[in-house]
Amino acid sequence: MAIETVGIVGAGQMGNGIAHVFALGGFDVVLNDISQDGLDKALVTIRGNLDRQVSRGKISAEARDTAIARITTTLTLTDLGQTDLIIEAATERETVKSAIFEDLVPHLKPNTILASNTSSISITRLASRTDRPEKFMGVHFMNPVPVMQLVELIRGIATSDETFKALIDVVEKLGKTSASAEDFPAFIVNRILIPMINEAVYALYEGVGNVTSIDHSMKLGAAHPMGPLELADFIGLDTCLAIMNVLHDGLADTKYRPCPLLTKYVEAGWLGRKTGRGFYDYRGDTPVPTR
């Protein structure tokens, strides 16, 4: 399973980061999105992040230019069909992801491997919507992709050893480290991280502390680089809620019940940094707690 070309579905925060590291790793990348504006913004972001790496001496200007030249964009999903590996990085909704794979299937090469960057949804279930569950895996990058070292690799019940080995090799070629996770709700990182964030929201909801005291406590008392509420805003409160719902539905344990305050913020459209407001208000020069 020689992988040289990679198709990426979704040019948002995760998708453009994945395109960045694959292009820098020597792969030819085809980046797809439903919006031309989304593709244009992704290319600007990738260029800016590569420029930052050059300015910090992490890569050469030549490596930056070569990486940019390896990325092509398209609004047509089926253009990805002839790539060796396709990674879906669309919104964290199972209906959306399943529809993408169903649309792709008639246009794939026989040996194309399919992967999802899902942070919580069943790989086995997504794979069952395709014609190649043995060539389907979860490949979960951490955010921000160019910076974070870990990639979770999740095998579905039907994933072949050959597919698993091919993805281990790809992660190594990207200069990252893989961790093998079983196909249970939220895998490893988010199984641990998102309930911690949800508990911090409960502490806020119940008046145990305000936004500032909760975040300062975890940064200064537990040596976390970001407080849990600040981190929730960075991830996106809608994503945090979606993962908590997957955990609650998939494991049927009340300890995974999403905090009502988290639900309220999402209902208000206060999703964090990407919307300008979450547990902090980002519309001024300095973030200000909203509670």
pLDDT tens readout for residues 226-265: 999 999 999 999 999 999 999 999 999 999 999 999 999 9
User: What global pTM score does this model have?
Assistant: 0.89
Mean pLDDT of 159-174: 97
Average pLDDT on 124-153 reads 97
Residues 52-70, mean pLDDT to the nearest whole number: 97
Close Cβ partners of 60 (under 8 Å, ≥ 6 residues apart): 54
Catalytic residue among 20, 140, 178, 230: 140
Q: Does residue 119 have an active-site annotation?
A: yes
> How far out from the chain centre does Cα 215 lie?
23
Q: Has 245 been annotated as catalytic? A: no
Structure tokens at 32: 């797809």
Under DSSP, is residue 94 helix (H, G, I), strand (E, B) or coil? helix
Identify the active-site residue in 32, 116, 190, 198.
190
Q: What is the mean pLDDT of residues 39-48?
A: 98
Distance from C-alpha of 43 to C-alpha of 31, rounded to nearest angstrom: 10
- Provide the pLDDT for residue 178: 97
**Domains, the chain, with CATH or none:** 5-181 (3.40.50.720), 190-289 (1.10.1040.10)
Average pLDDT value for residue range 89-99? 94
Sign (positive/negative) of CA torsion 175, 180, 186, 192? negative
Question: Is there a catalytic annotation at residue 140?
Answer: yes
| Dihedral-angle region of residue 29 (phi above 0 means left; psi in -120 to 50 means alpha; beta otherwise) | beta
Instruction: Report the distance separating Cα 213 and Cα 192, nearest Å.
Output: 22
Q: Helices H, strands E: what count in the chain?
A: 11, 10
Q: Which of 177, 184, 183, 121 is nearest to 158 (CA)?
A: 183
Span 70-92, pLDDT tens digits: 999 999 999 999 999 999 999 88
Q: Mean of the per-residue pLDDT values for the chain?
A: 97
Question: Does 33 have pLDDT greater than 80?
Answer: yes
Angstrom CA distances, 44 to 39, 123, 161, stand at 9, 31, 38
- Choosing from 152, 178, 198, 230, which is the catalytic residue? 152
Among 16, 49, 119, 198, the one annotated catalytic = 119
Least confident interval from 18-22, 116-120, 202-206: 116-120
Q: What is the pLDDT of residue 92?
A: 86
Q: Which amino acid is at 33?
A: D
Alpha-carbon radius of gyration of the chain: 19
For 124, the 3-state DSSP assignment is: helix
How far CA 141 is from CA of 14, 16, 68, 175, 177, in Å, comes to 8, 12, 20, 13, 10
Residues 6+ apart with CB under 8 A from 221: none
Mean pLDDT of 61-74: 98
pLDDT at 1 over 80: no
**3-state DSSP call for residue 115?**
strand
Phi, psi of 167 (to 5 degrees): -75, -30
Tokens 């050059």 identify what position? 54
Question: CA torsion angle for 185, 187, 193, 196 (degrees, to 10)?
Answer: 30
CB within 8 Å of 167: residues ≥ 6 apart: 113, 115, 137, 139, 153, 178
What is the Cα–Cα distance from 97 to 92, expressed in whole angstroms? 8
Nearest to 31 by CA among 44, 19, 20: 19
Does the pLDDT value for residue 112 go beyond 80? yes
